Amino acid sequence: MSWVLSLPLLIPFGAAVLAFLLKDRPSGAWVSVLGSGAMLIASIVLMVNVLAEGVIAGQMGGWPAPFGITLVSDLLSAVMVVITAITALAVSIYALADVRPRIAGLGYHALFQVLIAGVAGAFLTGDLFNLYVWFEVMLIASFGLLVMGGSREQIDGGVKYVALNLISTILFLTGIGILYGMTGTLNMADLAVTVPEVENQAMVTVVAMMFMVAFGVKAAVFPLFFWLPAAYHTPAFSTSAVFAGLLTKVGVYALIRMFTLVFVGDISFTHEVLLWVACFTMVTGVLGAAAQNDFRKILSFHIVSQIGYMILGLALMTPLAILGAVFYLVHHIIVKANLFLVAGVASRIAGDTALKKIGGLYAFAPLLAVLFLIPAFSLAGFPPLSGFWAKFLLVRAALEDGHGFVAFVALAVGALTIFSMTKIWAEAFWTPHPEGKEPRLSQLDAATRWSLLLPIAGLAVLTCIVGLFPEPFVQFAERAAGQLLEPTEYIETVLGARP
């Protein structure tokens, strides 16, 4: 079992080493594509195993839990790893045409693979300190990717990004220290057993809040989100797509994991806080987006607003709400990464990302317009796309739980999302280009066109599939939510797993 669990981590690391050795040649980019493809296969194998056998756990180095480092995968971890691999594959194909040779020569593809390894590691680990290590791997790789190219605004965004993430890391580490002092263990499954036995439950709540802030910064929730819109519109498009798709979701995943498995002692307090955080996150994000006039900045603020929905699912903590949160996570990664990829193509053929400076995409690049419309409408929650089901599940969960006001907020935010998507649509697609340019896809040569549009089309098809046939996905999310709310299987598998 251990190898099935660790291959999705080892493959990107191996690809990183190879990609770095070949960084000055075009083959380096292909190593990244192949690595992502291999990782996708490994993660599907993992998923099949989890579906067949339930939670699986493995002990690295043969040291039994809770002493060694445990890798563990339930359905949520498995689906997150699969979706990470899908995003990695899409973005690495896109990067073939998007990343300039000078940036590739700095080691772009190697860092990209290290980032993917960090993300997959965070999803698979069963140990808090190990989670911290994966956060650091991600932070280092993402900082490198963010400032690559070295323009002034990149450095500016990068400094804000690193400063806030370091604060989050320090809080996380402090929380880990206190938790270890109280329980003597950092294995998550073991914590789930020992934390309820701690005498000083008030202190546990304090630590829970430290974790909430630490992961909240990573997930970009209100009021800790401002590093995100400051940084995400600056780097290469493939970089911002993978950031938008995956990085904040690691924070959300960590919140879901810790606040369903370990910190469930004082739900009336912690999850009440989360509920308010979720509402404010949704509202501020969408209002921020309404005020922006740049393709990528609008999308960045939308990430913040959408994170609110996932936190909402966690805060309600009913089976239906957790189901909705899991569904939302998966849907959002696909859609958001795709929108950033579309922004990249739009900027490439129309010349900019500032909405005032572009236009005419609907008249001259109708294919791109359709490819934008699918994820954009999905994000806003139009039936029958995936976003509709995600929002529907969460709103219904809120109503069933007697939170009419929260449901209203969620619906209003959905409406405002449509407003800012219409803004992009009207300015970039409908109005004619201010300089009279004709932004056609045929300006790009065939190879570039394929490598840019293929991943976009692939992700759009995925969105449609999830939207048109939601039944199996909802059933899957239901099982995942069941495992999260009834963690006995998780705990027994980890603590019972002997090498």
Partner 1 sequence: MNSVILRAAARLLVGLLLVFSVFMLLRGHNEPGGGFIGGLLGAVGFIVYAIACSTDEAREALRVPPEKIALFGLGVALLSGLASMLFSDDPFTGQWLFLGATEDDKGLPLSTVLVFDIGVYLVVMGAILTLVFALEEEI
Q: Does 77 bind partner 1 (CB under 8 A)?
A: no
- Which string of b and e fits 102-129 if b means at least 16 CB within 10 Å? ebbebbbbbbbbbbbbbbbbbbbbbbbe
The one among 8, 28, 35, 58 contacting partner 1 by CB under 8 A: 58
Q: How many CB atoms lie within 10 A of CB 174?
A: 14
Q: How far is the CB of 145 from partner 1 (least distance, A)?
A: 15
Written as six digits, the tokens of 488 are 């006995």
Residue 14 sits in the site that holds partner 1 (CB under 8 A): yes
| Long-range contacts of the stretch 253-256 (C-beta < 8 A, 24+) | 253/76, 253/80, 253/122, 253/123, 253/329, 254/122, 254/131, 254/215, 254/218, 254/219, 255/212, 255/215, 255/216, 255/219, 255/311, 255/314, 256/76, 256/310, 256/314, 256/322, 256/325, 256/484
List 58's β-bridge partners, or say none. 71
Contact with partner 1 (CB under 8 A): which of 25, 48, 62, 102? 62
What's the full length of the chain, in residues?
499
* From 10-18, 41-49, 79-87, 465-473, span contacting partner 1 (CB under 8 A): 10-18
16 near partner 1, rule: CB under 8 A: yes
Query: Per rule CB under 8 A, is residue 13 in the interface with partner 1?
Result: yes
Shortest distance in whole angstroms from residue 230 CB to partner 1? 24
Determine the interface stretch with partner 1 among 1-9, 179-187, 379-387, 415-423 (rule: CB under 8 A): 1-9
Kindly state the smallest distance separating residue 174's Cβ from partner 1, in Å: 22
Per CB under 8 A, 493 contacts partner 1 = no
Question: Is position 31 an interface residue for partner 1 (rule: CB under 8 A)?
Answer: no
Rule CB under 8 A: say whether 10 interacts with partner 1: yes
| Among 32, 43, 59, 168, interactor with partner 1 by CB under 8 A | 59
Stretch that binds partner 1, among 11-19, 237-245, 398-406, 459-467 (CB under 8 A): 11-19
Q: Which is nearer to partner 1, 10 or 159 (CB)?
A: 10
- Report the C-alpha gap between 453 and 343 in whole angstroms: 12
Taking the complex as a whole, how short is the minimal distance between the CB of residue 497 and partner 1, in angstroms? Answer: 10
For position 436 contacting partner 1 by CB under 8 A, the verdict is no
Question: Residue 100: how many CB atoms within 10 A of its CB?
Answer: 11
> Would you give the binding string for partner 1 spanning residues 106-125, x where CB under 8 A is met?
-x--x---------------
Interface ranges with partner 1 (CB under 8 A)? 2-3, 6, 10, 13-14, 16-17, 20-21, 58-62, 107, 110, 499
